């Protein structure tokens, strides 16, 4: 069974601090997506990474896919209260139904 | 707005009643997924359609749940004889035929009293 473990499960920090969220598995994924979800809303796609070692930047967010395509990280620089939310990673298993394997999420709170 | 819409956004029902939810996908997306999500957890896969064909259904899904996508466009998810344990956010996601990326609707929040 493929699993994606996210850490930490919960993080509360002050505005302006930096943070990193991790997504780890023993399985290889064909791609990995990061989503951000606000209460009462559906997840919103932030980025898809496909190539081992790939780094993508989205303003203050930096996403990295591990060389072996088994893990990923999300680094936020100078966090803002607007970054508050549930961050979810999801790996594509590469099967014919394009199923995603989901992490349980990291709940991030940025205090002003 | 991802282009995926769901209706209703909220549903409150009494235990034992039937409920039906609708999802309208991004028009060119042929793949459609239904998920259930409880508070603080990641989405849990329920079922998957490619065009009008239901290709996969979670083994965890009881026979009270049924989904359709009759013309390969919109989809409905019906829950019969609802139970309090069915209370959750029900999410629909769609994808094109070329990538793994899924785009989510805003979800339907179900509360069973």
Query: Which tens digits make up the pLDDT trace of A58-100?
Result: 999 999 999 999 999 999 999 999 999 999 999 987 776 677 8
Q: How far is B48 from chain A (nearest CA, A)?
A: 8
Find chain A residues with C-beta within 8 A of B104's C-beta.
35, 42-45
How many CB pairs (< 8 A) connect A and B?
Answer: 66
A105: left (phi over 0), alpha (psi -120 to 50) or beta: left
Nearest to B43 among A44, A92, A102 (CB): A102
* Beta strands A31-37 and A44-49, pairing class: antiparallel
Q: Exposed, middle or buried: residue B2 (CB in 10 Å: 0-12, 13-18, 19+)?
A: middle
Q: How far is A82 from chain B (nearest CA, A)?
A: 17
Q: Is the dihedral of CA A73, A29, A26, A87 positive or negative?
A: positive
Per the CB < 8 Å rule, is A44 touching B104?
Answer: yes
Q: How far is A18 from chain B (nearest CA, A)?
A: 23
> Per residue of chain B (113 residues), what is the pLDDT tens digit?
778 999 999 999 999 999 999 999 998 899 999 999 998 788 999 999 999 999 988 887 889 999 999 988 999 999 999 999 999 999 999 998 787 788 999 999 999 99
pLDDT at A35: 96
Nearest to A98 among B40, B91, B100 (CB): B100
Per the CB < 8 Å rule, is A35 touching B107?
Answer: no
Residue pointed to by tokens 């209370």: B87
């Amino acid at each position: 069974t493929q699993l994606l473990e996210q850490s930490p499960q919960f993080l509360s920090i002050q505005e302006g601090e930096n943070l990193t969220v991790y997504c780890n598995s023993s399985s290889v994924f064909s791609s990995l997506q990061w989503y951000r979800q606000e209460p009462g809303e559906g997840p919103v796609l932030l980025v898809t990474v496909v190539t081992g070692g790939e780094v993508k930047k989205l303003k203050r967010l930096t996403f990295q896919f591990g060389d072996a395509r088994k893990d990923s990280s999300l680094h936020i620089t100078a966090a803002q209260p607007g970054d508050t939310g549930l961050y979810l990673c999801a790996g594509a298993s590469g099967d014919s139904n394009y199923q995603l394997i989901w992490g349980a999420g990291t709940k991030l709170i940025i205090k002003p | 707005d991802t282009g995926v819409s769901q209706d209703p956004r909220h549903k409150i029902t009494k235990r034992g009643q039937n409920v039906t939810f609708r999802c309208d996908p991004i028009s060119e997306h042929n793949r459609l997924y239904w998920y259930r999500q409880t508070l603080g957890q990641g989405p849990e896969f329920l079922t998957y359609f490619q065009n009008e064909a239901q290709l996969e259904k979670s083994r965890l899904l009881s026979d009270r749940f049924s989904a359709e996508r009759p013309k390969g466009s919109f989809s409905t998810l019906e829950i019969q004889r609802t139970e309090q344990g069915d209370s959750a956010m029900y999410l629909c996601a769609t994808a094109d035929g070329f990538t793994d990326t899924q785009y989510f609707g805003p979800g339907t929040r179900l509360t069973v009293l």
